[in-house]
Structure 1
Amino acid sequence: MPFTPIRRSTTSSIVIRFHNSATDLLANCQSDLKARERDANIILPFALKAKHGESSSSSTSSAPHNPKFLPQITTSFSSDSESSDDEAVPALTSPTKVDQFWLSAWTSRGRQPAKLDMVLSCTNGPIGKYPVFLYSNVPDEDLTSVLVIPRIDALVARLRSLVTSKRVFSVFGPVPLTQPFVHAWSSSTGATPVIDPYYAAKHTFCTRESLTSAPISPLSVSHSLRLAEPSDLVGAASLCHGFASGSEPFVLSVEDSIKEANLYISQRQMYVYKIEDAIASIVCVTRSSANVSAITKVYTNPHFRGQKCAEKLVRYVCQVLLGEMGKREVVLFVAHDNKAAEKVYDRVGFQGLWGKPRPEGVNDWVEIGFEEAEVGHW
């Protein structure tokens, strides 16, 4: 009789690891995050900054950094069928009081090293709590529902054991991750998603090669581009307030606008376009790691619009970051419905905008809010 080989299914597991410090997260995930530094910008820079601020007496100092010893949830499934086993998810416990933390989702196959698939962050900012952020360590073309849904379901199960539904006021991440998260979180907690997304945008980037030269005339004597200084605080705070007023629900009081502007200035993260004594535009740069920085706020005083102030300042900031500061890429988000801003960024050299082909790294992100939650700020 002819010999018929028996096909053995390969059992795989989705492993969810809990990290109660940036030190612990980076001990396990830093190499993966650095390998995709541009795409991991929503997670890596904050974690690096948080690690720097963690004292040696943190609770993780006695916790082993070997991933196999980390607190985790394991969901087993067959890699042949790629179907998850819902019964493998442990029963939920009452939410535990945790200030800020990260969850990572891994695929484990036998004796092979576990592979990082996703990271979820639930962290705090200087003015308010941040949304839940989602990062995919998997290329866009591989983000199928078969891969995404069981991992998001497992992340949601773990998240629900750590926080109440009021903490998750919104979630922000790539569309293929965010939409399944909203469905899973709503089904698990009964939370109601806000009908219209808080933010729907393209994630794009600019490099030294793509950065364009200024096609406009030199600045006049009364105009200047520079880092913001303490003397700029009042004008800068006014523009921070103006930016936030158009970013519902993340509006700022006058006091918080001053606090935010002061933080930007003291940390050398704000650039200004000044016309005589007035600040015409601001550009804020945060989420910086070794090779990548993010432009996270661009706003022009309504009295100075139509003079290409934002374009001049964004280009100047990119020149500083990619030149003097040695960054390889500058990233930003541009809202789908903000065609004026998209045109500006396209002229500066950001990729995949204004109807042009999208290279790898330009993709769609969305922030979806939840009703009756305690809104933070970012």
Structure 2
Amino acid sequence: MLVQSIQSYTQTTVYYSAEDLPQAVLDTLRANELSSNVTLPIIEKQLTRRPDASKRDQCWIVVETSKQVDLILAVTNGDNGAYPVFICPSSSCQCITEFLQPRLHLLAHALRAAMPVRRVYSVFAPDVIAHGFISCWTMLTGVRAEPAPYYHAMFSYCTRKSIASQRQLTMFPGLVIELRPAVDRDVNAVASLCFQFAADSAPFFLTEAKALVEAQKLISQQQVWVHTIRRTEDPICNEEVASIAAFTRNSDHVATITKVFTNPHWRRRGCAERLVRRVTRHLLSTKTAVALYVGHDNPARFVYHRCGFLGLANDASLHAGVESWIEIGLDQSKVQLGHW
């Protein structure tokens, strides 16, 4: 489907299958794997699966100006349900109102024609893009934003150059720690921490059953590590999973840490920092960068800063690509919530 603007050189194209995306779009995403981490890994995963041309519950909408890609909007689904609408700018996109407004207007009209209004339950994008799109969407559909954003975070990344050297973290006598990929015997512990993580991530809660399914998939796909602790005097070596770190959106050169959570019983012992350092080093053995999002008001940003993630010490302007992203939810009485 093609929707043209008044200026004939700007147009939007809707694709309902990852297989239909033109090489120019894939090249644009791969040229900036960091900022496209919410979109590119999903496309690449779908390209390895059997095509389903009849599937119409997802789409990608591309805004182009004179054959140059400006914006890519993605409506996709994950294992636990429908994802938010993701909007990724190209590296050449100008994130100023005069440039964005007509393009976001085109995106809103194309999405309205391509997907049911109830499917658009939230939008996640760089701040100026998310706010601009929601304004267009509300004018077009009448569906207003929820009073408070669901998530407002700084996008950061760590490279082999920026990763922090190992520092001595506080240890506690009588405790033995291990940092390793999760295995099948960890599934119940990982599920419990996934459940607790979601309980702090309103409105995207998980049932215990879905948390178990998520843990099983994370372990089977080797996308989660655990920080275990046991007491030296324990004769049968019972270990507890104190913390988890999952990385579920991964492309050729970039891995994304998507979930870090520590059992409240084991907090203030450096578990998250120790595990994030180890996981980041592991990922950087095969990737050029590791990305993550951390809430503006989340004290964990200082943990990630100490691990070598850039722009989290009130110095975002000094690091290219570090920027604020926001997820704006839409009136829950008029949409169908998904999960991510």
TM-score, with normalisation over the residues of structure 1? 0.82
- Equivalent residue, structure 1, for 2:81: 128
Instruction: State how far apart, in whole Å, the 2-side matches of 1:192 and 1:319 are.
Output: 43
Residue of structure 1 in register with 2:194 after alignment: 240
1:214 Cα deviation after fit: 1.9
Between the aligned residues of both structures, percent identity stands at: 38
Q: 2:65 aligns with which of 107, 123, 140?
A: 107
Among candidates 2, 11, 16, match of residue 20 of structure 1: 16
| C-alpha displacement of 1:356 | 2.6
**Contact 1:227-1:271 at 8 Å conserved across structures:** yes
RMSD, aligned CA: 1.7
8 Å CA contact 2:149, 2:328 repeated in 1 = yes
Q: Which runs of 5+ in 2 are unaligned?
A: 1-6, 231-238
Choose the corresponding residue for 1:143, options 79, 82, 95.
Answer: 95
After TM superposition, the structure 1 = structure 2 runs for residues 159-238 of structure 1, keeping only pairs within 5 Å, are 159-217=111-169, 222-238=176-192
Asked if the contact 2:178–2:228 (Cα under 8 Å) also holds between the matched residues in 1, the reply is yes
Larger CA Rg, structure 1 vs 2: 1
Structure 1 residue ranges (4+ consecutive) displaced by more than 3 angstroms after TM superposition: 217-221
How far 1:354 moved relative to its partner? Answer: 1.8
- Which whole-Å CA distance do the structure 2 matches of 1:48 and 1:186 have between them? 32
**Residues matched between the structures, number:** 321
Answer yes or no: is the 8 Å Cα contact 1:202–1:334 preserved in 2. yes
**Within 5 Å, which residues of 2 pair with 1:337-348?**
337-338=297-298, 340-348=299-307
Report if the CA contact (8 A) 1:199-1:366 is conserved: yes
Please tell me whether the aligned partners of residues 316 and 322 of structure 2 are also in contact (alpha carbons under 8 angstroms).
Answer: no
Aligned residue in 2 for 1:280: 242
Deviates more, 1:209-218 or 1:240-249: 209-218
Q: TM-score, normalised by structure 2?
A: 0.91
| TM-aligned CA deviation for residue 162 of structure 1 | 1.6
- The aligned residue for residue 4 of structure 2 is none
Residue 351 of structure 1: aligned partner: 310
Partner secondary structure for residue 117 of structure 2? coil
Q: For 2:155 and 2:31, locate their aligned partners in 1 and report how far apart those are by CA, in whole Å.
A: 18
After superposition, the Cα gap between the structure-2 partners of 1:249 and 1:218, relative to the gap in structure 1 and judged at 3 Å, is closer
Kindly provide the amino acid, as one letter, of the partner of residue 178 in structure 1. Answer: A
Distance 1:13 1:26, change over 3 A: closer
Q: SS of 1:355's equivalent?
A: coil
Counterparts of residues 32-43 of structure 1 (less than 5 Å): 32-43=28-39
> 293, 296, 299: which is aligned to 1:336?
296
CA contact (8 A) 1:43 1:121 kept: yes
Q: Matches of 2:203 and 2:291 in 1, distance apart?
A: 24
Q: Is the 8 A contact 1:98 1:162 kept in 2?
A: no
Change (3 A) 1:225 1:218: farther
Contact between 1:118 and 1:138, CA under 8 Å: does it hold in 2? no
1:256-295 map, 5 Å:
256-276=210-230, 277-295=239-257
In structure 2, what residue type is equivalent to 1:122?
Answer: V
Q: Where does structure 1 lack aligned partners over 5 or more consecutive residues?
A: 1-10, 61-96, 109-113
1:26 Cα offset (Å): 5.1
